[in-house]
Chains A and B, each alone.
Chain A
Amino acid sequence: MEPAMKTTPTQNWDTNVVLSVEHLTMRFGGLLAVNDLSFNVGRGDITALIGPNGAGKTTVFNCVTGFYKPTEGRIVMRHGKGFQSEKIEALTRTGRQFNDDGDDRVFLLERMPDFEISKRAKVARTFQNIRLFGGMTALENLLVAQHNPLMLASMMTIGGIFNLPGYKKARAEAIDFAAYWLEKTGLIERADDPAADLPYGDQRRLEIARAMCTRPHLLCLDEPAAGLNPRESTELNNLLQYIRKDHGTSILLIEHDMGVVMEISDHVVVLDYGEKISDGSADQVKNDPRVISAYLGVDEDEVAAVEAMIEMPPSERTPIPAKPAASKAKKKPGKNGKGGKS
């Protein structure tokens, strides 16, 4: 049942993998939220996880970041290059959480508690409903994110109490690093304001800055563009591009704003009812008939008929539903915009 597009030459996410989700299943009582889901996140890619409401995207996120323990499946995070199959198989048999391999560690995230995933596996996340420390300043928020290195520098608080020079230096560096991210997110002027005082768009960016202060290898963003105006949305795109290029951080994001998804994603994974229905580049996915039917809520064969019935908006705003259905899939997937009725 794999879509025909899978025939394209090997992509970054097939070979250079930072995170692989393998046969992930999550069951809440009788509800099957995610069913046998497998996908890869390429190193240095921006990967989008999309799907209609209730498709299980946030559940996948919570499994990856350890907030849920998956019912079945394996989630592997790699710090080293390559797929490292043998290492992972060996690790899986030992029952340990990660191997001791210097900088090339692999982590089995489904075995790790949530805070260890951020601390050791270096997976950071943001939340759909912003979770900042509202009563603390923007700067303090970013310092909390550097808790673990600062704890070490303060010798588990003992050196800090006596204000030893080692801690002083680490503290100054932490503030510099926080200031760097405040600068990058355009919040430096508000560094000493409580986070709850910031406008919504600023709070979204501050949350990303805070996640980046944990120096992650993989950044998971749960609907980062939700509630942003078009200008802020563009700024967000630039910020994510910057994070990916200049820090080499891979990004996995859930997003409903197709403008953002199609513009910045290298790789799109589409979920519906907890199952993967499409996986490929943005262009491949938006021409996939199964995606179109999932978004329109009809059978694949009916898509054409439905399309004819309803007035499609210009595809720039909602490219996926606006694209022609299977009958036209053979056509070259050019720049969007020609999606209307023929």
Chain B
Amino acid sequence: MAAAPNSGLMADSVKDAAIAALLVAVLGFFFFALRTDIGTGGLDLTYRWGMWFTAIAIVFAGRLLLNLFVFKTAKPVTSGITITVPAALTTVVGRFLGPVLLLMAVGLPFIVMVLFPDRDRQFIDLAILIMTYVMLGWGLNIVVGLAGLLDLGYVAFYAVGAYSFALMAQYLNIGFWTALPLAGLLAATWGIILGFPVLRLRGDYLAIVTLAFGEIIRVVLLNWYDFTGGPDGISGIPKPSFFGLDFSRTGGFAEYFGLDYSTIHRFIYLYYIILALALITNFVTLRLRKLPIGRAWEALREDEIACRSLGINTTNTKLTAFSIGAMFAGFAGSFFATRQGFISPESFTFLESAIILAIVVLGGLGSQIGVVIASVVMIGGIELLRNLGFLKEVFGPDFEPTQYRMLIFGLAMVLIMVWKPRGIISSRNPSAVYKERKKISSDMVAQGEGH
């Protein structure tokens, strides 16, 4: 009895592994077996049959082992590996995670200065970067996570915010604090202008058109040379002042408060600005979720037709989500401009949109804490992978670890999505409670359009 299925398993596995090996043989022929170098009078061709066979053998063996023990067998060895977290622990963590993270965020610059006195600038700068993405993630979470509208061009509003401030500073000599609300308003206006034609579309079409709009904004910025400086960008964007005090060597913040001048002051100040902006985003989002408008967004994500049957103007509801999301991107954009001091269309490519969307999806659609964790993992992770010097010890001095940065990062993302397909924090908190607050598991929650 036992032999028959076993032999079937073996035969199946070998067949499957052979197919995989054949594929590698075909695909890898030009990459492994043949190598061309520029030689005298043309190209020199060298054959590397050993490398080709090794690749085929590795794939065959790996695939065979995976087939035998994981893919084809009735009892995969991986079935034993399930990470179960006790429910009590998750509720405790869930209750305290937010406040603990907030406290950490507030004290972070000082913690960093104490722990890493010689690298504090670098780490605070990284924290500013992460916090910018947290804010962008929270902003996009309104559009994608709550309203369920897949927006692939979110970076366009980030660009509008950044360029609004930069251009206002350049042409009208307006400072950061005056420009900040204007930049947010401009971005929200653009959100409405772009949203109006776009939001009649559904699903994939919406995603494609928002992607196109994101690119249009970037291309306009790139080509309107007289006004935006095109690819040269805009430089000399003013830094924010602290109630009129600059962070300069003389007559500035340090002198006024009797401190020794240090460049770190400005970094700490920038960090607190973005922290405050991000917290405002979070506060407004959490508030809106409990208001009729937020509930309408979530209802829209669940079922648009039912929404209309209940008298909800879906176009306006989508537009508010789109423009409020855009407004926060505008705030973040003008902060980005003041932090960098220089912006160019290079900073607003589709990759940025993709990273922000990845943060939202990885964190769990609609989850605020999830966005924070995902930002730390993604942005912090990419930076952390720059410091992989220790791998040289393992693989020898020729090994250049930074080359594998994206590979390791991609692998980590795949693993997280396999482990938690609906994001790190995937349960939904109801917006109104009658008797008892119960978390709603993610498999009941719809993901909206274009997912």
Question: Which residues of A approach B to under 8 Å, CB–CB?
Answer: 65, 67, 114-119, 124-125, 127, 131-137, 139-140, 143-148, 150-151, 154, 157, 160-161, 175, 178-179, 182, 188, 191-194, 196-197, 210-211, 214
Contact = CB atoms under 8 A, between A and B. Distances in A.
A217 B327 CA distance: 40
A139 B306 contact: no
B438 A160 contact: no
Given A135-B440, A144-B296, A127 B311 contact: no
30 contacts: A114-B309, A115-B313, A115-B314, A116-B311, A118-B311, A119-B311, A119-B313, A124-B310, A131-B305, A134-B446, A135-B428, A140-B298, A140-B431, A143-B292, A143-B432, A144-B296, A147-B292, A147-B296, A151-B292, A151-B293, A154-B292, A154-B293, A157-B291, A160-B292, A161-B288, A175-B432, A175-B434, A192-B433, A194-B444, A214-B310
A137 B296 CA distance: 13
A128 B284 CA distance: 37
A157 B293 contact: yes
Nearest to A157: B293
A219 to B, nearest CB: 11
Contacts of B293: 151, 154, 157, 160
Interface of B: 284, 287-288, 291-293, 295-296, 298-299, 302-303, 305-314, 320, 428, 430-438, 440-441, 444-446
Contacts of A161: 284, 287-288, 291
Question: What are the nearest 10 A-B pairs in CB distance?
Answer: A135-B445, A119-B311, A118-B311, A133-B302, A191-B434, A150-B292, A131-B306, A160-B291, A196-B444, A144-B299
Contacts, number: 140
Nearest to B436: A192
A115 B444 contact: no
Nearest to B324: A157
Nearest to A156: B293
A213 B5 CA distance: 59
B444 A135 contact: yes
Given A118-B309, A161-B287, A143 B444 contact: no
A65 B312 CA distance: 13
Contact of B309 (A65, A135, A194): A65
Given A136-B430, A192-B437, A127 B309 contact: yes
Contact of A140 (B284, B288, B432): B432
Given A135-B302, A192-B430, A194-B440, A147 B446 contact: no
Given A118-B309, A161-B287, 4 more contacts: A115-B310, A135-B428, A160-B293, A175-B432
A116 B295 CA distance: 19
Contacts of A65: 309
A337 B21 CA distance: 74
A132 B306 contact: yes
Identify which of A135, A160, A196 gathers the most chain B CB atoms within 10 Å of its CB: A135
A146 B311 CA distance: 9
Contact of A115 (B287, B308, B430, B440): B308
A210 B310 contact: yes
Given A140-B432, A144-B299, A147-B296, A157 B288 contact: yes
A72 B445 CA distance: 40
